[in-house]
Structure 1
Amino acid sequence: MRPFQFHSPSNAAEALQKHSRDQKTHYLGGGTNLIDLMKEDVERPDHLIEVADLPFKEITQTANGGLMLGATLNNTETANHKLVRKNYPLLTMAMLSAATEQIRNMATNGGNLLQRTRCPYYFETSMPCNKREPGSGCGALNGANSKSALFGWSESCVATHPSDMCVALAALNAKVHVGQADGSSRVIPFTEFHRLPGDQPEKDTNLETGELITGIELPESEFPDHYYYYKVRERSSYAFALVSAAVGLQMQGNTITKAGLALGKVAHKPWKLENVERYLEGKEASLSTFEAAADLAFEDAQPLSKNEYKIELGKKTLVQALVRAAARS
């Protein structure tokens, strides 16, 4: 690990001001991802600004009937909060499928959004990776890409986003609140928070330099009854997904009146399925409907040399999530 300067600001304004002075600066929450990357010499910050103790640890109700999740609250407390469990059980289910309890006890909500890819070329500093070293090439493009993206990839990067929490947040139509150095703030729809790689894969999000995540806003609860997060992985615990699906449904009898859907580990960002959501509205909940929805979800998939299997796997994952969501009562 390389030398760095450590800062422990007393408030958010101080943290924002410290970050704005130097672009080789990272905010440090739980450190469950960043510290590992520093140990592997993948991330080389000159400055770390500790934000874990900043006062964004509450879950509060919003004026529109939703919830605001504090950015520095840890994943365990968030997933098990009574209002999250009651009104957003899809989020609880997704969060509790991630990592281990010890990691969830440390990982913050804001930090979860900022996870870096687990692509092996990104972690191995002797290999080419445009995300780690822009201009060096994408080793996975024609290499070991069995776990790489099906959607939205570019010649510069075929990596996927690793988060489980973020897949559920995409399905739930969340928003991200961020603070800026001048004291202002802005709100980013979740589908616009992460970005596709294009020719700048080193940029995972649309955050501006120095911006600090302060909260995650959930809209009024829409899917408290019919929901499921289905995660397919190589072992039953402590493993990242090969493919995952977050499903929320509103139903009248056996008819779907509204849907919130997203896929995980198929793109550089959580993959929101807006076209499939529209397709399902007004349809009867049946296996044939769900199989047609899965075909629609993957009709634009662009497999690489070694990950074509993820298309069929992804379809079956989405179908299972839809079946299980519809069956809940």
Structure 2
Amino acid sequence: MTPTLNDFARALLAPDLAFATLAEARVRTDRQGLPLLRRTTRFAEAQIEWRGDSWLLFLPLAPQALLRIERTAARLRRLTTGLLADYRILPDEMQWSDATGTVRRTGLILQELPAGVGFEEALASEEPATLLAALDTLQEGLRSLGFNHRNLKPENLRWCAGHFIPLRYHDACFGTTGADDEAFGALRHRVGEQARHPADAATEQTLHDTTAAYTASRRLAGHRWCSNLFEGLVCVEDETGYGFVDPSNRVVIPSHFLWANDFHEGRAEVQTAEGMGLIDKQGGYVIAPRYEIVEYDPATSISLVRLDGLWARFDYLGRQLTRFVPLGELEATAAADVPEPVAG
């Protein structure tokens, strides 16, 4: 059992109550004071200020997510290098309560966010020759460390005082180098395109995790990434986005989502350009993709849905059970207290 986005958001707003090490952290929020969260395949991410510095904080969205990076994180802690940012696991860092009210703890990942700007900002302000030289330096440096990032793309690079520092090491490993060669080639091509067509290149930014250079699964070939089998379907990531295939690798739901979760009890959360929603196993929308957050609980068949900072409950068929109200007010009123769906 793992915490949800809602659990993570609540912890970020009350760090002194929820966090062990990061009790004094302050999260970056939107205009409504809600944490700015970024969701990828295996992690939810927030930016925090802690002890005078900026950090990225990651919540694992699957039990095996931390296990996959333990060895890499341990080795990174022993390295002394300016090529990589501090990246560590904080065991049992966050306290949360599950659906039964049982208090649980989960580990988080903390990564330093060095002072600087993103790749796209660097493209707009630096000479192409400077950026190309910095990419050469980074590639050679990572080779010397035996470090493979395996998800090297513009949004995972930070331009800091004349050099690039990669971020988000969730797919990284140590060993035979060369896994990042294609990604470095794409980055150099991006710099070249900016130099030749600066106005056009500026419009080609891709800011979502769907551009990740994941290694295709050996179990289901032809995909950037694939999950495990849940209810007869496997969530996969392709060039066009996230979708679902059957165990024979036949497409069941085309890959057109920005993000998708595994199926549980016939439902899967998805993300589109318009917002989050909930689909059935035929790919039809049970909850339209127009909300900030949709969290489906297969144990109760109820979804918690956020819109404009307010929350409501929806049933298994996608019918709205409560009006949109502040989260505290919603928690004080059980869904059973509203026997009929509320007009949307």
TM-score normalised by structure 1 residue count: 0.27
Judging by fraction of residues, say which structure has more helix. Answer: 1
Judging by fraction of residues, say which structure has more strand. Answer: 2
Structure index of larger Rg: 2
TM-score normalised by structure 2 residue count: 0.26
